[in-house]
């Protein structure tokens, strides 16, 4: 084991150091423009910075005596959450190997992945746990169709009972902790422990090569995001009256025209924009889920959004990405995953920024995750939760400090003009990852009126009101199952 750790470290340490220096993610950012000052003529000892916080050290020393920590992933393809068996030069894959090797050595354990791609893992997990047998210690999967049903079936452990987990910290997700904790129980979450979580949030991609043509200043965009002034009004100012019928056929069509901003037009996209604009798809108070999508703020936000974003005519969703890659759109809304996949070979520089807030009074950005990504984590109820909590917390914190900047390096690898502000944008996005129960369950089909208003021009208030009663019934039924599940 020690030979393997040393070998992995030697190959990766230079990259980790490079990523930390360029992103600032491994420590407190420093102002590189500050000139050196001479030491004062005094015998007083110079002030020293406080040591960097180390959650792993805080967890203490533990010896798990060679125990096997089993990780199962619904999608076992390499370069997702499950690493390849050997170092292959792919930086995120190799960082997972490094993390696992260091955690395994520290706690005297073995980390083992279930790698058979053809095993129906959800079914295997369900059947094994129902037989009161251990299936795995940690499970990765998508929330929407894989993990959510397991929670209300009583098959998952309550993460809030795992004392080592700091679920409200940034190496997990504070906003998700706030929204997925009901009756003192939380059965799944998202965090840096899952490399795929870096691909899950909704983002805007901005084509830098087009900015000067439309009198948009790149640094001004950075400033808006960093200062909390990146709002729908600012976006509207950049994109208003920009779309152009290039072939002069009398209609705007994604396949051959130019657009200020592009996006898909489904429920998930609508929810991402609404959430970013401060809309709570549901709230929790006194262990009760409330769905109130008829408030003044919700109506105002949907009205403002409908005047800025739209549904572009197209032959397929692929044409949206083609338009962006062909420099026929300034802004493209999709998920961070496209920076790793669709836009890897793009021949111009682009920015990755959060979706805009409603206005400057909104407390923070909110980056809703794609509920179809394999970024959710849970623990089967038959696992040994005490040691598992320590191991998971250590893995999450290690990933937050070390893997996150490496993931940024991969996402930004093709950017010739990469700078520290790019990583600041990604940190803002990752630290504001968001999901709530209605985004997952869509109680009473309450997201459809938002979609129909934003993308199809239909009336919102009456359509939403019709769904209120069913939404409450479905939410109450879910709450009873959730609280009584374990």
What are the backbone angles phi and psi of residue 116, rounded to the nearest 5°? -70, 110
In 10 A of CB 50, how many CB atoms? Answer: 6
State the Cα torsion 173-418-413-4 to the nearest 10°: -70
Answer for the pair 393, 69: CB distance below 8 angstroms, yes or no.
no
Q: Any bridge partners for residue 68, and if so which?
A: 110
Q: What is the pLDDT of residue 80?
A: 73
Instruction: Look at residue 172 in the predicted model and tell me its pLDDT.
Output: 96
**Tokens describing residue 453:** 């208003």
Go through the domains of the chain in sequence order and give each one's CATH number. 2-9+57-198+371-433 (3.40.190.10), 199-370+442-483 (3.40.190.10)
**Residues 200, 337 contacting (CB under 8 angstroms):** yes
pTM: 0.87
Strand partners, 190: 376
Q: What is the pLDDT of residue 19?
A: 45
| The predicted structure's pLDDT at residue 251 | 85
- Per-residue pLDDT, 117: 60
**In this predicted model, what pLDDT tens digit does every residue of 51-83 receive, in sequence order?**
789 999 999 999 999 999 999 988 755 457 888
Give which of 469, 417, 435 is closest to 175, Cα–Cα. 435
Q: 97, 71 in Cβ contact below 8 A?
A: no
Note the pLDDT of residue 79. 53
Token digits of residue 220? 């001004």
CB 433 within 8 A of CB 201: yes
Mean pLDDT by 10 residues, the chain (486 residues): 46 48 36 35 52 94 97 72 79 91 98 75 92 96 89 96 96 95 96 93 96 96 98 97 89 91 95 98 96 97 94 85 96 93 88 97 96 93 95 98 86 58 92 96 96 95 97 97 84
Strand 283-285 vs strand 189-190: parallel, antiparallel, or unpaired?
Answer: unpaired
What is residue 35's predicted lDDT score, i.e. its pLDDT? 34
End-to-end Cα distance, the chain? 38
Alpha-carbon distance of 450 to 354, in angstroms, equals 20
Measured over the CA atoms of residue 72, residue 73, residue 78 and residue 82, the dihedral's sign is negative
Tokens of 442: 């869509």
Coil, strand or helix: which one is 73? strand
Give the residue among 101, 120, 117 at the shortest CA–CA distance from 109. 101
User: SS3 for 203?
Assistant: strand
The phi, psi pair for 227, rounded to 5°, reads -90, 0
pLDDT at position 189 is: 97
Q: Radius of gyration (Cα) for the chain, nearest Å?
A: 23
């Amino acid at each position: 084991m020690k030979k393997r750790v040393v070998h992995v470290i030697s190959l990766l340490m230079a990259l980790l150091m490079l990523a930390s220096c360029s992103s600032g993610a491994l420590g407190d950012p420093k102002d590189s423009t500050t000139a050196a000052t001479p030491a004062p003529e005094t015998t007083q000892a110079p002030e020293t910075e406080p040591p960097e916080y180390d959650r792993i050290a805080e967890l203490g020393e533990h010896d798990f005596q060679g125990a096997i920590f089993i990780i199962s992933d619904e999608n076992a393809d390499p370069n997702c959450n499950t690493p390849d068996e050997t170092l292959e030069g792919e930086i995120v894959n190799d960082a997972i190997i490094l993390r696992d090797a260091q955690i395994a050595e520290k706690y005297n354990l073995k980390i083992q992945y279930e790698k058979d791609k053809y095993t129906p893992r959800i079914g295997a997990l369900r059947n094994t746990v129902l037989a009161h047998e251990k299936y795995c210690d940690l499970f990765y999967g998508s929330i929407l169709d894989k993990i959510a049903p397991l929670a209300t079936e009583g098959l998952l452990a309550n993460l809030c009972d795992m004392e080592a987990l700091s679920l409200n910290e940034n190496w997990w997700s504070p906003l998700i902790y706030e929204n997925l904790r009901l009756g003192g129980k939380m059965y799944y979450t998202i965090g840096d422990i899952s490399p795929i979580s870096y691909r899950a949030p909704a983002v805007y991609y901005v084509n830098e090569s087009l900015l000067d043509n439309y009198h948009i200043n790149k640094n001004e965009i950075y400033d808006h995001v960093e200062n909390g002034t990146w709002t729908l009004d600012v976006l509207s100012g950049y994109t208003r009256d920009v779309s152009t019928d290039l072939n002069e056929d009398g209609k705007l069509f994604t396949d051959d025209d130019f657009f200020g901003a592009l996006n898909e037009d489904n429920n998930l996209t609508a929810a991402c924009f609404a959430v970013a604009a401060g809309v709570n798809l549901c709230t929790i108070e006194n262990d009760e889920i409330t769905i109130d999508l008829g408030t003044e703020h919700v109506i105002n936000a949907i009205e403002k959004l409908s005047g800025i974003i739209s549904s572009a005519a197209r032959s397929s969703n692929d044409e949206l990405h083609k338009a962006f890659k062909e420099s026929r759109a300034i802004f493209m809304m999709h998920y961070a995953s496209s920076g790793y996949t669709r836009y890897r070979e793009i021949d111009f520089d682009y920015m990755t920024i959060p979706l805009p807030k409603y206005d400057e009074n909104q407390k923070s950005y909110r980056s809703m995750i794609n509920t179809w990504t394999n970024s959710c984590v849970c623990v089967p109820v038959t696992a040994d939760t005490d040691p598992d909590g320590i191991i998971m917390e250590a893995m999450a914190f290690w990933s937050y400090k070390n893997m996150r900047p490496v993931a940024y390096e991969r996402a930004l690898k093709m950017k010739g003009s990469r700078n520290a502000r790019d990583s600041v944008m990604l940190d803002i996005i990752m630290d504001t990852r968001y999901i709530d129960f209605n985004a997952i369950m869509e109680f009473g089909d309450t997201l459809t009126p938002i979609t129909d208003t934003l993308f199809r021009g239909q009336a919102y208030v009456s359509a939403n009101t019709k769904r209120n009663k069913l939404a409450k019934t479905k939410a109450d039924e879910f709450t009873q199952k959730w609280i009584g599940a374990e």
